[in-house]
Amino acid sequence: MSDPFGRALLDHARGERTAPLRQIDGEWERDHPIEQFYFEPRDPEAETTAFLERHLHGPLVDLGAGVGRDVRYFSEQCETVGLERSPHLVTAMEERGVERAVEGDMFALQATFDRDRFASALAVGTQLGLAQSPAGVQSFLADLAYITRPDATAVVDAYDPTSVDAADLLGYRSEPTPRHGGGSSTRSQATAHTTGSRSARSDPPPRRRRHAGRPRSVVGQRLPQLRP
């Protein structure tokens, strides 16, 4: 796995990054705000932090934990595990003092964690869109139900495809599997670590979150942004 995104963040954490992390989608591109999104400490006084603290309890799993910003914050309050598919990001978490950094796929949770392992789950930062379809989101939530307790809470976020600003987002895509009358649209991610060459990835996400498996609480609320 070439993992340009993970390599860029690890290089940044080590002070060794010499080129921008550039998001590319056709002719549209921008430099990714790495420091702001991944390294600025979470503000304990922020509205979003208060929202998360009301709903998250340990043991907690952060799905797509990046370089461990939220894992480090919530580890001071409860047992917190950071899950990342990228080995570079797992290394970054470990080098930044995260004690429970696990390499694994958030779309194959049963292969990584035991049943009823967690009391809460956090998945913010648009990675839910990598499920690629409503069916993919439903499968993810069924997996999430397996690794969380019957009374667990999950906090997840994604861009609202019905927003008037959706089409202005980098990586905007029409819904690949439109439902309920069709005409919906969604967003994807495109990332590349520019080191003399370019690469891009586009992954169409789902239209809406759906719940599957045993009853769980999936928390939803409009907030300015959850990450950072």
Residue 86 lies in a domain: yes
Residue 111 lies in a domain: yes
Condensed to tens digits (0 to 9), the pLDDT of residues 177-209 reads 554 433 333 333 333 333 332 333 334 333 333
| Percent of the chain whose predicted confidence (pLDDT) is above 90 | 50
Whole-number Å distance between alpha carbons of 104 and 15 = 26
- Write out the residue range of the structural domain in which residue 28 sits: 4-219
**Average pLDDT score over the chain:** 77
Does the structure show a pLDDT above 90 at 158? no
Confidence band, pLDDT 50/70/90 cuts, at residue 173: low
pLDDT at 70: 95
- Tokens, residue 48: 């979003």
Cis peptide before 228 (omega within 30 of 0): yes
Cis peptide before 59 (omega within 30 of 0): yes
Confidence band, pLDDT 50/70/90 cuts, at residue 1: low
Does the structure show a pLDDT above 50 at 4? yes
- Tokens, residue 200: 């891009």
Residue 194 lies in a domain: yes
CATH number at residue 209: 3.40.50.150
**Nearest C-alpha neighbor of 30 from the set 191, 165, 168, 225:** 191
pLDDT at 103: 97
Q: What is the DSSP string of 68-132?
A: SHHHHHHHTTS-EEEEES-HHHHHHHHHTT-S-EEE--TT-GGGTS-TT-EEEEEE-SSGGGGG-
pLDDT at 175: 62
Confidence band, pLDDT 50/70/90 cuts, at residue 171: low
Residue 58 lies in a domain: yes
Condensed to tens digits (0 to 9), the pLDDT of residues 91-116 reads 999 999 999 999 999 999 999 999 99
- Tokens, residue 46: 């922020």
Whole-number Å distance between alpha carbons of 25 and 203 = 11
Residue 225 lies in a domain: no
Whole-number Å distance between alpha carbons of 202 and 219 = 27
Residue 228 lies in a domain: no
Residue 57 lies in a domain: yes
pLDDT at 86: 95
The count of domains in the chain is 1
Q: What is the pTM of this model?
A: 0.75
Residue 136 lies in a domain: yes
